[in-house]
A and B are shown apart, each in its own frame.
Chain A
Amino acid sequence: MSEPWIVGSVNVKGRTVSVVSTRLSRKDAWGGVKVRWNIGRDRYAVLPGLYAAGAPTEDSPVLVSANYKLSFDTLRKSLQGIDAWILVLDTKGINVWCAAGKGTFGTRELEQRIMKVKLEEVVSHRTLILPQLGAPGVSAPEVKDATGWTVKYGPVRAEDIPAYLEADQRKNEAMREVRFRLPDRMAVAPMELMQAWPVLLAILAASVLSGLPFSAGYGARFFSFLIPLVGGVLIAVFGFPALLPYLPFKAFALKGAVLGLAWGVASAAATGASAASGAGLVLLICPITAFIAMNFTGSSTFTSQPGAALEVRRGIIPMSASLVLGIGLSIVTRVFTL
C-alpha cells in the first residue's frame, strides 16, 4: 500500500509502521472539499490499522481515529511536530461522531483493533486517547475490563490536541464543548444542496409546465416561477444555517417556514405577481424551505431524537397540505391568468 500521504516508516519490534505526513497536500485538501459537496463521500476511507506521526517511541501517546479520510486528515494535520501513534478503527469510512452513534466507532471494534495491531508490543504504557466524540460508541469501563487499556477522551477538535498533550492530557471546558458557529454550519451546508436535487428537478419540471403555452412571454412565465422556487431552495440550504441562531421557534421546520415566508413574499413582490399567484408561490416555497431546514437537524450538533421525531410527526401534514394547496392555486392562477 503506498498512499501519497505516507512519507516513511518506523520499525518497532521487527514490524514496520507507516509514518504519515502531518501536512495536507493539495490533493488531500481538494478531496476534503469534494466530500463536503457529497462527491465520493461513501468511499473516502483509509485502511484501518496503526500509523505513526513524527518519530514515536514506546512512551508516545496513542491517538485513536476513524477511517473516514476527512477525520484522519484532520487528525494528522494537527500533529505537526508531535510524535504519536495513530490507531485507525474501521468505521466503514464514517466520521467519528456518526460512527460512535451507530456503534461502529465502538467498544468491540476498539478492543479487536488493539489486539489486531498488537498494540501492547508497540508502547510500554496502556493508555489510549480517543476523540471525545467517540464516547457515545465506546464504553471506557468495558474496554478497561476486557483489555486492561485505559481509555481517555481527548478534545472534541483535533486542533486542540497539541494544547491537550502539552497540558498533561487535561482538557479545559472549551476543548470539551461542541461548537456550531457560522463556519461550522456553512461547512455542512453544501451537503444539503446536493441532497436537494429531487426538489430542484421537480421545480424545473413544474416551471416548464407553468410557462405553457409556448407563445410570447413563455420565458417570462417560466422564470417568474423558477426563480422564486430555486431561490427558496438556496435560501433554505445556505440562508438557514447562516441564520439558524437568530430565527424564531425551536423546531427547524418552523424556522425554515419563517424564512420561506419572508423569501416568498419578497420574491412575489419583486416579480410583480398578483395576490393570488403570489399566495400560490408562498404556499409552495414554505414547505420546501421547512423540509430542507428540518433535514438540517441531521447536520446539526445539538438536536435530540425525540425533538426531531416531534417535528417530523407534526410537520408532515401542514407541509403536505401547503404543497398541495400551492400547486392547486398556482395551476388555477395560471390557467385563468389571475
Chain B
Amino acid sequence: MKLSYLKNGETLFLDQGKCNGCMECIEVCPHAVYEMSGGKSRIADRGACMECGACARNCAPGAIRVKAGVGCAAAIIGGMLRGTSPTCGCGSAPAGTSSGCC
C-alpha cells in the first residue's frame, strides 16, 4: 500500500526542456515519483513526493526545483518556539518537541 500525505509534491517543479535524460532523478527518488517518457523524465506521481530534495540536488542540468524540507511536526513546532525555520532538532530541540526522526 502506497502511503500518501497532505500537500505532498506541491513545490516540485521539473523543466523538461532542460532534462538530459540521465535518469539520476529516478535513481535517487525513494518514492518513485518520476518515470521516463520519450527520453525525458516526467513527474508521474507528484502525490508521493515528500520533498526531500534528492532529485534537485543531483540533477546535473538543473532541471528540477523543489523546496526541500523536513516533514516533521516536532521540527516545525521547535522552529516556531525558537523563531527559526524548521530544522530537525536532534538533541537541540526543546524537551518534548524532538521526534524520532533523528
Contact B71 A299 (CB under 8 A): no
Q: Is the CB of B69 within 8 A of A139?
A: no
Majority DSSP secondary structure for residues of A touching B: helix
Whether the pair A136, B100 counts as a contact (CB closer than 8 A) is: no
Which residues of A sit under 8 angstroms from B27, Cβ to Cβ?
132, 153, 171, 176
Q: Is the CB of A309 within 8 A of B76?
A: yes
In this complex, how many residues of chain B approach chain A with their Cβ under 8 Å: the count is 53
Contact A177 B30 (CB under 8 A): yes
Q: Of B70, B96, B100, which contacts A101 at CB under 8 A?
A: B70
B72 is contacted by which of A140, A171, A297 (Cβ under 8 Å)?
Answer: A297
Residue B83 CB within 8 A of the other chain? no
**A195, A301, A303, A308: the one within 8 Å of B30 (CB):** A301
Q: Are A95 and B102 touching (Cβ within 8 A)?
A: yes
Nearest-neighbour CB distance to chain B for A310, whole angstroms, equals 6
Chain A interface bracket (under 10, 10 to 19, 20 to 34, 35 or more) = 35 or more
Binds B, one of A25-33, A245-253, A329-337: A245-253
Among A90-124, those with CB < 8 Å from B are: 94-95, 97-102
**Are B70 and A302 touching (Cβ within 8 A)?**
no
User: CB distance B86 to A305 under 8 Å?
Assistant: yes
Interface of B is mostly: loop
- Nearest chain A CB to B77's CB is how many angstroms away? 6
CB neighbours (8 Å) of A94 from chain B are 90, 102
Task: Quote the shortest CB–CB distance from B72 to chain A (angstroms).
Answer: 3
Is B77 within 8 A of A250, CB to CB?
no
Chain B 1-27: CB-based contact to A (< 8 A → 1; otherwise 0)? 101111111110000000000001011
Bound Cα distance from A74 to B84, whole angstroms:
34
**Further 13 A-B residue pairs, CB within 8 A, beyond A42-B90, A138-B58:** A94-B90, A102-B87, A133-B30, A133-B54, A178-B31, A180-B3, A191-B100, A252-B73, A297-B72, A298-B100, A303-B50, A303-B72, A308-B73
Q: Interface of B with A (CB < 8 Å)?
A: 1, 3-11, 24, 26-32, 48-55, 57-58, 60, 67-77, 80, 86-88, 90-91, 95-96, 98-102
Chain A contact residues, CB within 8 Å of chain B: 42, 94-95, 97-102, 132-133, 135-141, 153, 156, 171, 173, 176-178, 180, 188, 191-192, 195, 197-199, 244-245, 250-253, 294-312
